[in-house]
Amino acid sequence: MRYTSFGQTGLQLSELALGTGNFGTGWGHGADRDMCEAMLGHYLEAGGNVIDTADIYQFGQSETLLGDLLGARRNEVILASKFTRGDSPEAGPLATGNSRRAMIASLEASLRRLKTDRIDLYWVHYPDNVTPSEELLRGLEDLSRSGKILYVGLSNFPAWRLARIATMAELDRSVPIAAAQFEHSLVRRECETDLLPACRALGIGAMTWSPLGGGMLTGKYRKGESGRAEGFGGKVFQAENTPQRSAILDTVTATANELGATADQVAIAWSRSHGTTPLIGPRSLEQLKTNLKAVELTLSAEQLQRLDEVSRLAGMPVERTTLPPVA
């Protein structure tokens, strides 16, 4: 796997990041310890170096498994985690949200589960629509100065607030907003109208989740499989529920056939073509192996144009929105 600079940081990220929302079975859908160990080992052996988790993933099991499985290889990876939602379904108002209190408590709990003294990239998982941006930045600055977090990112924030907080951090000379995370796929292109341009203008690294539309772009649901359509209660899932989405999947499948590849590889390769770092979230070693082969796939200009056109949203510019190439 090749490595690229991330935003305006000195971090060298692998082309694909490993999302670990499926590490554990606390949500009633996921992978057991043996499968998690196999997936983590294969990802690292393939050259991957970005592990993304959250305290809410499988109600803390994802972080606990990673803490156990990484062991001596901890320093070989960029370890990212998130806070906001709490680590249990019973988490109360003081343990959730983005207040300084919740932030510090969440970080300390994540460090214990991950068995580490720092988190390399700490994400604010969601805006809570309560905590002022000033409080958010001050809390993150304190954690950065303590050495317990090294880089800061905002996940699932609207573009206007991402830009505002990043500018506030720059003016205050506090810990910079190094990264943004948001959904992006052939069936969710809204970010190309605001978040991607914001990242480009501000020099923020972009990590995108669900490049397969929750599995819809693999075509497996046409074959009767369930996956995330049922496994997460239908959350983080894009249904094939419009003529355009059916046309998108038809085009992905046709492109895969042309290349002797699979639909998931085409969808991930298309996502990568925007200069972002896609997060893959496999539940099995088989899924991981086929996802990783996307880095070997090169889509032609004609294939990219075809995929762009079939998935274009109303009012979206014809020009592609991509992050600048690595210097």
- Residue spans of the domains in the chain: they are 3-213+274-299
**b or e along 271-294 (b: 16 or more beta carbons within 10 Å of the residue's beta carbon)?**
bbbbbbbbbbbbbebebbebbbeb
Amino acid 94: pLDDT: 86
CA distance 263 to 261: 7
Q: Which residue has the tokens 């649901």?
A: 221
Nearest to 35 by CA among 229, 118, 43: 43
Cα–Cα distance for residue pair 82/160, rounded to 1 Å: 21
- How distant, in Å, are the alpha carbons of 107, 119, 181 from that of 134? 19, 22, 20
Residue 187: strand pairing partners? none
At 90 the pLDDT is 85
pLDDT in tens, 81-109: 999 999 988 888 888 999 999 999 999 99
- Domain 3-213+274-299 classification at class level: alpha beta
The long-range contacts involving 162-168, CB below 8 angstroms and separated by at least 24 positions, are 162/195, 162/198, 162/199, 162/202, 162/204, 163/198, 163/201, 163/202, 164/133, 165/133, 165/136, 165/137, 166/202, 166/204, 167/202, 168/133, 168/134, 168/137
What percent of the chain has a predicted confidence (pLDDT) above 90? 87
- Sign of the alpha-carbon dihedral angle for 242, 248, 250, 252: negative
- pLDDT tens profile 196-215: 999 999 999 999 999 999 99
CB 240 within 8 A of CB 213: no
Question: Catalytic site residue 57?
Answer: yes
Among the residue ranges 234-243, 245-254, 284-293, the one predicted with the least confidence is 234-243
User: What count of other Cβ atoms lies within 10 Å of the Cβ of residue 94?
Assistant: 11
The token duo for 303 is 């294939």
Q: Are 22 and 30 in contact (CB under 8 A)?
A: yes
256 within 8 A of 263, measured Cβ to Cβ: yes
pTM of the entire predicted model: 0.94
Which of 57, 122, 126, 151 is catalytic? The answer is: 57
One-letter amino acid of 111:
L
Has residue 325 got a pLDDT over 70?
Answer: no
**Nearest one of 205, 143, 131 to 174, comparing CA atoms:** 143
Residue 327 clears pLDDT 50, i.e. is over it: no
Q: How many residues does the chain have?
A: 327
Query: How many other β-carbons are positioned within 10 Å of the β-carbon of residue 11?
Result: 20
Phi, psi of 149 (to 5 degrees): -135, 145
